[in-house]
Amino acid sequence: MKIKNIILVLCTSLTFCSCSDWLDVSPNNQVDGENLFNSGNGYRIALNGIYKQMSSQNLWGEELTWGMADVLGQQYTKSNLGSTDSKYWQACQYKYTDKTLEPVIQSIWSTAYNTIANCNELIKNIEGADPSIFQGKTLEQGLIRGEALALRAMLHFEVLRLFAPSVAADDGKKYVPYYATFPSVSEPYLTVKEVLAKIEKDLEEARGLVQTYDNQKGYKLLMTKSYRFEGGDLVTDMFYASRGFRMSYIAITALQARVFSYAGESKKAYDAASEVINYTDDNGEKMFTFTANASFNTNPKMKDDLIFALSNSKEVELFKAWDNMDEDAGMVSIDYDDYTEILDENANDRRWNESGGMVEIHSDYDWYCVISKKYMDDASYTDLDKRIIPVIRLSEMHYIRGEYLAETDPASGALELETVATNRGCTAGIFSYVSTLEEYQEAVLKDARKEFLGEGQLYYFYKKYNILPNSKANFIFPLPDNEMVY
């Protein structure tokens, strides 16, 4: 596979722009890497470009969240997804070679590897850069390099989860390459375990680099609930604001928990998830708490318990194309009958409750259907609410801790799951029936369906647990015919 890299210059001055401006600037010209990396500001621009690519429609802006990933996880009712010409109608049946779906899979692959190439060019140049060119000197140099390493790992992990079997179903074959140098004409394809080992190595190095900044006394304030996604009034240099949109120390730790869990390394996953759950601010208060149920109606993305998110100022527009039914386009929605069947499991669950909850019931058509509020264009939502793309949240850390506990004590594992559910309004004791690891996993899948609607994670839990509603082959994307990445 060949990779050709293009670096985008997003703007020429970031230091004094607002936080949202820094996150959502658009490219105005292209330069080669040599010129871009002549200044410390150029490295900031390059890093911002990587985050912006990751927020695009082909990746977390649509396909890896409420789009393709949620369709594959059977989050929506098939008949609502449009005609046979709809990409999601084909995707929900795993018809990966259909003419409407092949280009989507190709775009996911090519955009991911192009973004990886951008990470690699940044990493290559920053390793030999003079610290004096950075406004924050060595501290900033290490921070940027650490974030780029973590993003490289995250992108490879997403490719692995889509284009290869899970560890639980691994056949030892080689599936995807791991690109860690720039430039690189081609890299060998590796096994699932070989790719995971490289991901884990990158994440550990990245965590060591960013902790020098993130864990300093006084700097943790930028990751507290009030400032995680804003925080512009705390710093004079906006590059350091809004660490919730960046690969911070604790975001990398949460990603490690996700990777270890997928790799079957349950004790390592438990330890990493526990560190996230118990992470405290400078006053000893827990950094991450569950969003209050009373605020769900105006805060459907539950920002308080988000550990890492991306940002796309056009997110509402992307979703709007799929939340209005017409004859051909389809709708990412759930039939009312399917909705009530799930709601009946616990009617107090605020995630699945229209009254002050995270879904909206539509009756504008010939039938009732239910749509997630997370990406709707609601007048009560702030601009920040509209552009946030949830990627990792606190609930997943509890699911992961419960996995390890359930191996030897399913009841203890169920308590982790209950922590999530009761904080979403459910009745205490609803998982008291869990007595085996298998029952724990089935319970997680039920809860995750409500927790991760619009976020793309349910599909990966099915893969991780090897509990597949259809053929195992349906849970592996075929490699694109053309593996060139531009």
For residue 281, is it within any domain? yes
Q: How far apart are CA 193 and CA 220, in angstroms?
A: 34
Token pair of 226 as six digits: 């009030």
pLDDT of residue 201: 99
For residue 9, pLDDT over 70 is answered with no
pLDDT of residue 339: 75
pLDDT of residue 338: 77
Give, for 111, the enclosing helix (H) or strand (E).
Answer: helix 102-127
For residue 282, is it within any domain? yes
Instruction: Note the pLDDT tens digit of each residue in 174-224.
Output: 999 999 999 988 999 999 999 999 999 999 999 999 999 999 888 888 888
For residue 260, pLDDT over 70 is answered with yes
Query: Of 138, 201, 230, 182, which is closest to residue 46 (Cα–Cα)?
Result: 182
What range defines the domain where residue 60 resides? 8-316+388-475
For residue 427, pLDDT over 70 is answered with yes
Residue with tokens 């724990």: 440
Q: What is the DSSP string of 275-334?
A: HHHT-B-TTS-BS--PPPGGGTTT-TT-GGGEEEEEE-TTHHHHHHTTSS--TTT----E
For residue 233, pLDDT over 90 is answered with no
Query: Of 174, 143, 175, 173, which is closest to residue 162 (Cα–Cα)?
Result: 175
pLDDT of residue 363: 63
Q: What is the mean pLDDT of residues 228-255?
A: 87
pLDDT band at 362; cut points 50, 70, 90: low
For residue 485, is it within any domain? no
For residue 343, is it within any domain? no
Give, for 439, the enclosing helix (H) or strand (E).
Answer: helix 437-451
pLDDT band at 22; cut points 50, 70, 90: very low
Token pair of 261 as six digits: 């869990």
Three-state DSSP class for residue 3: strand
Q: What percent of the chain has pLDDT over 70?
A: 85
CATH number of the domain within which 227 lies: 1.25.40.390
- pTM, to two decimals: 0.91
pLDDT band at 483; cut points 50, 70, 90: low
For residue 29, pLDDT over 90 is answered with no
CB atoms within 10 A of CB 423: 19
For residue 361, is it within any domain? no
Q: What is the mean pLDDT of residues 240-262?
A: 96
- Looking at residue 59, its amino acid is L
For residue 335, is it within any domain? no
Report how many domains make up the chain: 1
Instruction: Note the pLDDT tens digit of each residue in 290-333.
Output: 998 777 777 889 999 999 999 999 999 999 888 765 444 468 88
- Looking at residue 190, its amino acid is L
For residue 3, is it within any domain? no
pLDDT of residue 164: 98
Q: What percent of the chain has pLDDT over 90?
A: 65
Instruction: Note the pLDDT tens digit of each residue in 69-116.
Output: 999 999 988 888 877 788 999 999 999 999 999 999 999 999 999 999
Which of 51-60, 300-309, 468-477 has maximum average pLDDT? 51-60
For residue 66, pLDDT over 90 is answered with yes
Query: Of 17, 22, 10, which is closest to residue 243 (Cα–Cα)?
Result: 22
pLDDT of residue 293: 78
For residue 249, is it within any domain? yes
For residue 10, pLDDT over 60 is answered with no
pLDDT of residue 203: 99
